[in-house]
Amino acid sequence: MKTAKIDLHLHLDGSLNVYWMYEMSKKRGVIKNEMTFEEYYQQIYCTAYKTMEEAFKMFDRPIDVMQHKEDIAQTVFDLVRELNDKGMIYAEIRFAPQQHMKCGLTQYEVVEAAVSGLNRAKEAYPLMAAQLICCMMHKGENALVNMKENFETIEVTKEFLGKGVCALDLAGYENNGDFKLYAPLFEKAREYGIPYTIHAGEMGMGVHVVEAIEMGASRIGHGVNCVQNPEWLNEVVKAQIPLEVCVTSNCGKERNYALHPIRELLNAGVKVTVNTDNMMFSRTDLHVEHAMLRSIGVSEEQLKQCTLNAVDAAFCDEETKKKLRERLMQEWN
Active site residues: 202
Q: Are strands 129-139 and 243-245 parallel, antiparallel or unpaired?
A: unpaired
Question: Minimum Å distance from CB 159 to Zn ion?
Answer: 24
What residues does 132 pair with on adjacent strands? 93, 165
Closest to Zn ion by CB, 97 vs 328, is 97
Q: What share of the chain is helix, strand, coil (3-state, %, to 5)?
A: 55, 15, 30
Number of Cβ atoms within 10 Å of the Cβ of 257: 17
Site for Zn ion in 221-280 (CB under 5 A): 277
Instruction: Give the binding-site size for Zn ion (rule: CB under 5 A).
Output: 1
CA angle 110, 114, 118 (to 5 degrees): 165
For the chain, what is the largest distance between any 2 Cα atoms, rounded to a whole number of angstroms? 56
Closest to Zn ion by CB, 277 vs 285, is 277
Burial label for 274, CB within 10 Å (0-12, 13-18, 19+), is buried
Question: Minimum Å distance from CB 277 to Zn ion?
Answer: 5
Question: Minimum Å distance from CB 284 to Zn ion?
Answer: 13
Closest to Zn ion by CB, 40 vs 261, is 261
Cα gap 305→312, rounded to integer Å: 10
Cα gap 157→189, rounded to integer Å: 9
Closest to Zn ion by CB, 73 vs 243, is 243
Contact 249, 7 (CB under 8 A): no
Question: Minimum Å distance from CB 274 to Zn ion?
Answer: 14
Site for Zn ion in 57-76 (CB under 5 A): none
Question: Minimum Å distance from CB 33 to Zn ion?
Answer: 33
Residue nearest to Zn ion (CB): 277
Closest to Zn ion by CB, 71 vs 277, is 277
Contact 194, 168 (CB under 8 A): yes
Site for Zn ion in 270-289 (CB under 5 A): 277
H/E element, 197: strand 197-200
Binding site for Zn ion (CB under 5 A): 277
